[in-house]
Amino acid sequence: MSDWSQLSVLVTGGTGSFGQKFVEIVLKEKTPRRLIVFSRDELKQHDMAGRFKHPSLRFFLGDVRDRERVRRALVGVDLVVHAAALKQVPACEYNPMEAVRTNIEGGANIIDAAIDRGVKKVLALSTDKAVSPVNLYGATKLVAEKLVIQGNTYAGATGTRFACVRYGNVIGSRGSVVPAFREQARRGEITITDERMTRFWLSLDQGVRFVLASIERMKGGELFVPKIPSMRVTDLAAAIAPSARTRVVGIRPGEKLHEMLLSEDEARHARDMGDHYVVYPEFEWWSEEHLNGGKPLPDGFRYVSNDNPKWLNRDDLARLVRDSDA
């Protein structure tokens, strides 16, 4: 897909944090024939239209839950980046069927419509919380991953290909802990669930660029995992509000002490590609000829946030937080 000038591209959840950064970078660097923002928020679409003012940009109101609307949106589309999701852990725990309808049924609608409409590539966004999930959000994203990868089987010889990217917490995204810490800092006290807690972290810009690279690499069936740094939540709190007190309140329901991006079982059929990992599908339709270099991972390998060779210190975190505001 190197010649983006001829492509019609649609991004679901296009008015979200990822979607807006994706639109910004793609319009500036790729200039596709059409770039369609699919979302259900007409106010944010209006704001984006005023912000970007680009002849390639289109806006399509709709919800991934609405099968017929998704089918209509994908007419003539070559590439879909599927970023729409309900992702707030407490909200998904309290409203489980809503999370299922958006994250699972919405994903199934994208898969079916993409095959029916002859879309060439679909890349779906996932999360570290899909690995050994302990909350409903993670469980729905695990199911969504399985659906997307298996979509290649459903597509058969039609030519539509599906893959996923999976990464950690995104600084600057809606629901990030950064705004919560800033608000608490105004009151002089930041609450931390556990002082040992670690997370994978990357910027919105890094997330979008990894997605763009994965679109070019994908053959269909892969799950791409970037190598990204870890951070300690205590360091993040100190970077945002060094003079604020901290109070430990205990781990919340559905929360992990550390996150995992690659499990031991997945590592058996994954490759180290240098700056990222690729988990290959375990299906008979997957051919060895699709392997694109890389090294097998050692027995027992796991990619976990507390056992990561790359770490962000307080200065790194402070700089990233400042950059996300720019």
pLDDT band at 175 (very low <50, low <70, confident <90, very high): low
For residue 38, give every residue at least 6 positions away whose Cβ sits within 8 Å of its Cβ, in sequence order, or none: 10, 11, 12, 13, 14, 60, 62, 64, 73, 84
- Which helix H or strand E contains 266, and what residues bound it? helix 264-267
Res 173: pLDDT: 73
Instruction: Annotate 49-81 with DSSP letters as a single string.
Output: HHHH--TTEEEEE--TT-HHHHHHHTTT-SEEE
pLDDT above 90 for 111: yes
Q: Which residues are catalytic?
A: 129
The whole-angstrom separation of Cα 249 and Cα 191 is 6
Res 291: pLDDT: 65
Q: Judge whether 206 and 228 are in contact, CB under 8 Å.
A: yes
Quickly name the fold that domain 4-167+203-227+260-297 has: Rossmann fold (3.40.50)
pLDDT band at 172 (very low <50, low <70, confident <90, very high): low
Give mean pLDDT, residues 51-66.
96
pLDDT by residue (tens digit) across 262-278? 999 999 999 999 999 99
3-state SS assignment for residue 286: coil
Give mean pLDDT, residues 24-43.
96
Give mean pLDDT, residues 166-179.
81
Paired strand residues for 260 = 304
pLDDT by residue (tens digit) across 282-325? 877 676 666 678 999 999 999 999 999 999 999 998 888 877 77
Res 248: pLDDT: 92
pLDDT by residue (tens digit) across 178-230? 888 888 888 889 999 999 999 999 999 999 999 999 999 999 999 999 999 99
Res 102: pLDDT: 98
- Look up residue 320 and give its amino acid: L
Res 289: pLDDT: 61
pLDDT above 90 for 242: no
The whole-angstrom separation of Cα 257 and Cα 246 is 18
Q: How many of the other CB atoms lie within 10 Å of CB of 236?
A: 26
Q: What percent of the chain has pLDDT over 90?
A: 79
Instruction: Annotate 104-156 with DSSP letters as a single string.
Output: IIHHHHHHHHHHHHT-SEEEEEEEGGGSS--SHHHHHHHHHHHHHHHHHHHHG
- Phi and psi at residue 235, to the nearest 5°: -70, -35
- Mean pLDDT lowest among 59-68, 84-93, 290-299: 290-299
Domain ranges of the chain: 4-167+203-227+260-297
